[in-house]
């Protein structure tokens, strides 16, 4: 039986071919963002004065259905940044997640922090498209790409000044990482059945070791979980649903960031006392 992920990728390949004919590469390259210098996602995640939270804008998902159908990208993402998020993630898939390229463009227009294009990227055209709409980084999903595809897509992204967050789900996918990728995302969601288990991040962190800036994705709703992930070496926390399901995502994000910072400092003090 075809999984949800397989359905998404099959549709994405067809959709991308259609977009190529509607919006040729030469047209994309005329975008005002094409000459702009991207903002480093990794640097923002590693800044001690920031939270490490990558706050996500999304309207719906295949597993959860409608999350926040009428949210406005500019309004929500600006509130996220003002709440203390280090970076933004914007879902641009329309068919399955209710997103659009213009959602990211609107977020870019009102924010100076890094913006990650969250989508199912399988073609170089989508990388160029990401640059044209103002993305600073792209997501590549190891589960749907070969090592050669990851190498080629990431090389193109780097040549355009963008960074790459490579999403991993299990130990077998680490072999597909290429030497230039520095951002490793651990998705706590099983892409076959969409179940969530945050323990996946802790397990994968031990297997990956040092050398990467780690980002934990999905299922993080408790600031205490984020604080424990921080102690385990994670510097990025991609959070969307728990913010977007509320009436005011920005305020929810602000409360999360505030509690997380308090717990992070408390843990630092406790660890310092223990080590001394």
Residues with catalytic annotation?
56, 58, 118, 167, 187, 217-218
Contact between 144 and 122 (Cβ < 8 Å): yes
Return d(Cα 21, Cα 91) in angstroms, integer.
22
**Neighbouring residues of 158: CB distance < 8 A, sequence distance ≥ 6:** 164, 180
- 71 close to 248: Cβ distance less than 8 angstroms: no
d(CA 232, CA 214): 10
Q: Single out the residue of 148, 147, 180, 156 nearest to residue 138, CA to CA.
A: 156
CA 160 to mean position of chain CA atoms? 18
Name beta bridge partners: 87. Answer: 54
In the numeric block, which tokens belong to residue 11?
């549709």
Across the chain, how many H-helices and E-strands are there?
A: 11, 10
Strand, coil or helix: 115: strand
Residue 106 token pair: 């609107």
Length of the chain counted residue by residue: 276
Tokens 């390229």 correspond to 101
């Amino acid at each position: 039986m075809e999984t949800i992920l397989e359905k998404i990728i099959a549709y994405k390949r067809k959709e991308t071919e259609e977009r190529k004919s509607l919006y040729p590469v030469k047209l994309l390259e005329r975008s005002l963002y094409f000459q702009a210098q991207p903002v480093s996602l990794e640097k923002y995640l590693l800044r001690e004065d920031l939270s490490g939270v990558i706050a996500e804008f999304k309207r719906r998902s295949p597993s959860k259905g409608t999350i926040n159908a009428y949210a406005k990208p500019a309004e929500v993402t600006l509130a996220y940044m003002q709440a203390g998020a280090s970076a933004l993630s914007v879902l641009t898939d329309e068919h399955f997640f209710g997103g659009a390229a213009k959602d990211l463009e609107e977020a870019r227009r009102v924010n100076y922090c890094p913006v990650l294009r969250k989508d199912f990227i399988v073609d170089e055209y989508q990388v160029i498209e990401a640059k044209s709409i103002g993305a600073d980084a792209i997501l590549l999903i190891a589960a749907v790409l070969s090592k050669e595809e990851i190498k080629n897509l990431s090389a193109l992204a780097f040549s355009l000044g963008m960074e790459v967050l490579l999403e991993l789900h299990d130990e077998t996918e680490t072999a597909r990482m290429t030497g230039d990728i520095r951002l490793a995302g651990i998705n706590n969601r099983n892409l076959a059945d969409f179940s969530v288990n945050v323990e996946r991040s802790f397990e994968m962190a031990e297997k990956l070791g040092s050398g990467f800036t780690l980002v934990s994705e999905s299922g993080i709703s408790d600031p205490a979980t984020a604080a424990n992930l921080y102690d385990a070496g994670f510097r990025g926390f991609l959070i969307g649903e728990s913010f977007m399901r509320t009436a005011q995502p920005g305020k929810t994000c602000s409360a999360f960031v505030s509690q997380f910072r308090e717990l992070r400092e408390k843990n630092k003090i406790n660890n310092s006392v223990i080590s001394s």
